Structure 1
């Protein structure tokens, strides 16, 4: 009897997590304008090189904020695409900001060097996580338009083509 109760509690907990993640996944269908008119999260972080990055300094750029971790397998699959997009679109006003959910910076620095991640990477802290409405599961991506408007939020594994289309659509908006 006790096992059944525990199993029911676990099932409801998992269902709650899935529901919570999906309710926050806001994205327009490819080729459609984003429905969100919400201003993006306001944040300030210090990257691994000691440089301060804040949302105000990114205004005028399309920003993809990527919450990730060195131990996250789906994150590892996304990172090469983020590196490629940063290289390809930097001159178009695109900026990736990586926010690591690792416990310490040591493994993150090693990972960043190994993967040749040329975009800024910082350690996510509680204040930053709260500014983005919480992060449950990884990866979690936010796309913010040049005007500071939140265009999309994706929690969990997202089709890389969907992310790319959203970034390119946002870059096309001048």
Structure 2
């Protein structure tokens, strides 16, 4: 009996851990939701329309999330490497305090726009139930992949290079 319980617990744990690193195609070619949010570093309003025709990696994150912080270096590198190819990273923080996010942007020298996510925007993206959660958007504005959890740079580069013309 105890072997069955141990086995069931092991299988459950495996599925839980595997789900934390899931890369799934976006459901039914979803269009990226429109938004107009304030960029935390500059205070400037950013309309999602300015990204029309660009490939995007939109990442929902939090300042208190270790995998999110770990991913920042990769996102900075992607922005540097691919921005001349019509690509941009967009950071959307689920933190409650803008000051904390502004300090993080300055401390980490983040080179891509970071805004405060609204509850309505997380719902528009189909629900963001954990961080980091990222969405890869092609030049047509279609969400082509959803990533849940930390994503290795090699995976992001591979997927990004498939959608950059």
TM band (smaller chain)? 0.7 to 0.9
The question of 1:67 aligning with 2:60 is answered: yes
C-alpha separation in 1, matches of 2:27 and 2:118: 29
Q: TM-score, normalised by structure 2?
A: 0.81
C-alpha separation in 1, matches of 2:68 and 2:97: 17
C-alpha separation in 1, matches of 2:115 and 2:132: 15
Give the superposed CA RMSD.
Answer: 2.4
Q: Alpha-carbon deviation of 1:118? A: 1.4
Provide runs of 4+ in structure 1 moved above 3 Å: none
Bigger share in strand: 2
**Structure 1 residues not aligned, in runs of 5+:** 1-10, 28-33
Candidates 100, 108, 113, aligned match of 2:106: 113
Q: Alpha-carbon deviation of 1:25? A: 4.8
Cα distance change, pair 168–36 in 1 and its aligned pair in 2 (3 A)? farther
The question of 1:51 aligning with 2:49 is answered: no
C-alpha separation in 2, matches of 1:56 and 1:36: 22
Q: TM-score, normalised by structure 1?
A: 0.77
State the SS of the aligned residue for 1:60.
coil
What is the number of equivalent residue pairs in this alignment?
149
